[in-house]
Amino acid sequence: MLLPIPELLSKEQLAHFRARLDAADWADGRATAGHQSARAKDNAQLPEDSPVARELGALVLEALSRNSTFFSAALPKRIYPPLFNRYAGGQSFGYHVDNAIRYDRSGGRAEAVRTDLSATLFLSEPQDYDGGELVIEDTFGTQQVKLAAGDLVLYPGTSLHKVLPVTRGARLASFFWIQSMLREDAQRRLMFELDVSIRRLTQSVPEHPALVQLTGVYHNLLRRWAEP
Ligand code: NI
């Protein structure tokens, strides 16, 4: 399932993010790439332990915790601390699949995060740069994603994906991974669709007794499938 989540960040937050990122010390993105993806990767990245990455990453996590669509679609168990990258001057990232396991060392010890979902949070307005589309290949075909600043896209970590060359301006983004309570994309999609249906019914027929039953089905499926 490929899911855009609009307006994760407000315009005020975006202005703060851009001011902090414009003044930050960027490093070569290849430093954190895996063996195979280092050859495909050409961008700049904030070091994971940089104070700016830590500060803005915490704000992204806070925004995620308030977003019910994100929770419903990802059913997150662990979230890798958000990272930040920048593409300009023709930089790109060729086709690759993200590493299956990432080690989150932010808490002092290495905690494994299985990358069930990948997320990109766009931080530059689309009209401010040319190129830079996130191209995702999966069972649903090839999709090109270039969203408004503040919007997030969620997609399965199993997908082949790339970032097209940025030929004008600069593309700033945050990216991170989520280990879900549901490992399989197909299960997450069913639960998301069920949850969306229940919410719509709650809006239009709030008193209908079948809603209680349907909500029970949601939770009983989650109980059956989840690895909390
Ligand atoms: Ni990637």
Mean pLDDT in consecutive groups of 10 residues from the start of the chain, 228 residues: 97 97 91 73 92 97 98 98 97 94 92 98 98 92 96 96 98 98 96 97 96 97 96
Q: What is the pLDDT of residue 140?
A: 76
Q: What is the pLDDT of residue 136?
A: 97
Distance 95 CA to ligand 1 centre (A): 8
Q: What are phi and psi of 149, to 5 degrees?
A: -60, 135
Nearest to 21 by CA among 173, 145, 156: 173
- For the segment 128-149, what is each residue's pLDDT rounded down to a tens digit? 999 999 999 988 799 999 999 9
Q: Count Cβ atoms below 10 Å from residue 26 Cβ, excluding itself.
A: 16
Distance 164 CA to ligand 1 centre (A): 12
Distance 205 CA to ligand 1 centre (A): 42
Distance 172 CA to ligand 1 centre (A): 15
Q: What are phi and psi of 181, to 5 degrees?
A: -65, -20
Is the pTM of the predicted complex or chain greater than 0.85? Answer: yes
Task: Determine contact, residues 92/164, Cβ cutoff 8 Å.
Answer: yes
Q: What is the pLDDT of residue 40?
A: 86
Distance 57 CA to ligand 1 centre (A): 18
Q: Count Cβ atoms below 10 Å from residue 32 Cβ, excluding itself.
A: 16
